[in-house]
Amino acid sequence: MDLGVNIDHVATLRNARGGVEPSVLDAALICEMAGAKAVTVHLREDRRHIKDNDVLELKKHLACNINLEMAATDEMQKIATSLCPYSCCIVPEKRLELTTEGGLDVIQNKEKIEKLIKALHLKNIIVSLFIDPDLEQIKTASEIGADYIELHTGSFSNAFGTDNQDIEFNKLKNGAKFAQELGLKVNAGHGLNYENVYLMNEIEGLCELNIGHSIISRSIFVGLEMAVKEMMELI
C-alpha cells in the first residue's frame, strides 16, 4: 500500500507568522525522499493554508505524484486544468469547518461532478472522489466515471477503541470490496494515525492512504523524514 502525505499543516504553521518558514516545498521534498508515493495538498477556497503558489512550486520541483484536493468549483477546475497535477481528489468544502467533514455527496451533485471529471480527464488527470463508505455513493461515483474513490475514514478513526469500531471498520471493508467489484480503485484517509492505521492493512486491495495531521504532528518530535518512514512501516 502506498502513502500520500498531506502537508497542509506545514502551510498552517508557516501562515501563523505570515513568513516563509517552514517551507512547504522542503517538507514535500523530504516526504518524497522518505518514500512517499504522493504529496497531497488541499487548495481551499479561502486559502487558509496552501496557497496557489505552493502548488506551482510543488509542480515545478517534485518528482513524486501531486494529489490536489479541491472542491468542485469553476475556479478550482480552472486551476487544476492549467496546473495538471497527477491526480485530483474532489472533496466537499464548508467555510466554517476545521477540516473536511464527511464525504462528498456525489448523488446530489452528480451532474456537476461528472462534468468536472470529464474536464480533468481531458487533461489526463486521474480523478478521485472523497466519499463515505456508502454503497449508493460508491455506485454513483462509478457511474460518472471516477477512477478512484477515497474512502473517508473519519468515522472509523473516531470510533477506534470504542464499541463502534467494528461497525465502522466493516463499512470501510464492504465499501472497498463493492467499489473494486465496480472497477474503481480505492484509497482511504482522514484521521488515520500510528495507532489505528494497522487495520487498513486488513482491507484488501487498498491502493493508497492519505495521511496528514498525525504525520506532521509526529514530525515535531522525530523529524519529518522519520515520521514518514515510521508510517510507511506500518502500512
The residues that touch ligand PXP, with contacts defined as CB under 6 A, are 6, 8, 42, 69, 89, 91, 99-100, 130, 150, 189-192, 210-214
Nearest distance in Å: CB 122, ligand PXP: 23
Nearest distance in Å: CB 101, ligand PXP: 9
Going from the C-alpha of 124 to that of each of 39, 51, 61, 139, 146, the distances in angstroms are 18, 23, 20, 23, 13
Which CB atom, from 170 or from 217, has the smaller least distance to ligand PXP? 217
Instruction: Check if 190 is active-site.
Output: yes
Which positions ≥6 away from 16 have C-beta within 8 Å? none
Spot the catalytic one: 9, 42, 49, 152.
42
Spot the catalytic one: 69, 93, 168, 208.
69
Whether 144 contacts 106, CB under 8 Å: yes
Going from the C-alpha of 190 to that of each of 38, 112, 150, 159, the distances in angstroms are 15, 24, 10, 13
> What CA–CA distance (Å, rounded) separates 213 from 5?
9
Instruction: Check if 42 is active-site.
Output: yes
> What CA–CA distance (Å, rounded) separates 231 from 218?
10
Neighbouring C-alpha atoms within 13 Å toward the C-beta of 119? 19
Which CB atom, from 173 or from 190, has the smaller least distance to ligand PXP? 190
Spot the catalytic one: 9, 49, 152, 190.
190
Which CB atom, from 77 or from 196, has the smaller least distance to ligand PXP? 196
Nearest distance in Å: CB 184, ligand PXP: 16
Distance of CA 58 to the CA centre of its chain: 16
Nearest distance in Å: CB 187, ligand PXP: 8
Instruction: Check if 69 is active-site.
Output: yes
Which CB atom, from 132 or from 150, has the smaller least distance to ligand PXP? 150
Residues forming the active site: 42, 69, 190
